[in-house]
Amino acid sequence: MGENPRAAKLADRIKEIVARRLERGIRDPRLGFVTITDVRVTGDLQHASVFYTVYGTDEERVNSAAALTAATGMLRTEVGRNLNVRLTPSLEFIPDGIPENAAHIEELLREASERDREAAALASEAQYAGEADPYVKPRELDDDED
């Protein structure tokens, strides 16, 4: 079964509303540079999970998470004003793991590249264990055997 198209439209709309409201600012000094990356709404349209990232240090991430938790009611009210739905979905802010995953993947790629360079260096110095060409060649006929 496919995803509920109404839930997808509602999720996109919630993402826009929350991002616009955060761009205008919230009167909480703990809030850092927050980016809304994704919103997922349940099939019954009652709950929205808002995924976000914070640019900065771990302390700024913790402070921004606390600020978003404190502003959840105000942001839900803002979402309710701008949506034409009977019930406003509850909001849950979840830190997105994309930056950490991307950093981990970058580290793995760097490590693989380093190992490739080491293997190429070893291969350039390698010598054959036997003959250079180990394949059996057909016998060459002598001129007297004709």
Instruction: Give the CATH number of the domain where residue 79 resides.
Output: 3.30.300.20
Nearest-angstrom CA–CA distance, 3 and 10: 12
Query: Is 59 inside a domain boundary?
Result: yes
Nearest Cα neighbor of 50 from 11, 87, 101, 83 is 11
Q: How far is CA 70 from the centre of its chain?
A: 26
Query: Is 91 inside a domain boundary?
Result: yes
* Domain extent for 40: 5-97
Query: Is 62 inside a domain boundary?
Result: yes
Question: Residue 50's pLDDT is what?
Answer: 92
With a CB cutoff of 8 Å and minimum separation 6, the contacts of 10 are: 41, 45, 48, 83, 85, 89
pLDDT bucket at 130, cuts 50 / 70 / 90: confident
pLDDT bucket at 13, cuts 50 / 70 / 90: very high
H or E element: which one contains 90? strand 90-95
Residue range 28-77, pLDDT digits in tens: 778 878 888 999 999 888 999 999 988 888 888 888 888 888 888 998 99
C-beta neighbour count of 24 within 10 angstroms? 8
Query: Is 18 inside a domain boundary?
Result: yes
Task: Give strand pairing partners of 33.
Answer: 55
Query: Is 111 inside a domain boundary?
Result: no
Check: pTM over 0.85? Answer yes or no.
no
Report which of residues 127 and 47 the model is more confident about: 47
Query: Is 67 inside a domain boundary?
Result: yes
Query: Is 137 inside a domain boundary?
Result: no
> How many domains is the chain partitioned into structurally?
1
